[in-house]
Amino acid sequence: MLLALNIGNTNITFGGFDADGRLNFSSRLFADSALSSDELCYKIINMMDLYGVSPLGIRAVILASVVPVLTARMREALQKMTQAPVMEVGPGLKSGVRIRMDDPAQLGAELLCAVVGALRRHTPPLVVLNLDTAMTLVAVDGEGSLVGGVILPGPQLSLDALVKNTARLPQVELGAAPRRLLGANTADCLRSGMVYGTAALLDAMAAKMRAALGAPQAPLVATGTLPESIRQACETPLHYRDTLILEGLYASWQRNARRK
CATH of the domain at 78: 3.30.420.40
Measure the CA–CA gap between 178 and 169, rounded to whole angstroms: 16
Looking at residue 260, its pLDDT comes to 56
Last residue within a domain, chosen from 53, 88, 123: 88
Inside any domain, residue 71: yes
- Whether residues 28 and 120 share a domain: the answer is no
Instruction: Specify whether the CB–CB gap between 37 and 80 falls below 8 A.
Output: yes
Rounded to two decimals, the pTM is 0.92
pLDDT per position as a tens digit, 120-163: 999 999 999 999 989 999 999 999 999 999 999 999 999 999 99
The confidence score (pLDDT) of residue 105 equals: 86
Last-in-domain residue among 58, 88, 118: 88
* List of residues 6+ apart from 204 with CB closer than 8 A: none
Taking residue 147's Cβ as centre, other Cβ atoms within 10 Å add up to 17
Q: Is residue 70 part of a domain?
A: yes
Residue 252 lies in a domain: no
pLDDT at 259: 61
- Low-confidence residues of the chain: pLDDT under 50: none
Helical spans, DSSP H, in 143-185? 155-164
Residue 202 lies in a domain: yes
* Domain around 70: 2-88
pLDDT for res 126: 97
Residue 253's pLDDT is 96
Check if the beta carbon of residue 204 is closer than 8 Å to that of residue 131.
no
Q: Which of 42, 62, 88 is the last residue of a domain?
A: 88
The contacts of residue 140 (CB under 8 Å, 6+ apart) are 97, 115, 118, 119, 124, 125, 126, 127, 128, 146, 147
pLDDT of residue 91: 82
Query: How many domains does the chain divide into?
Result: 2
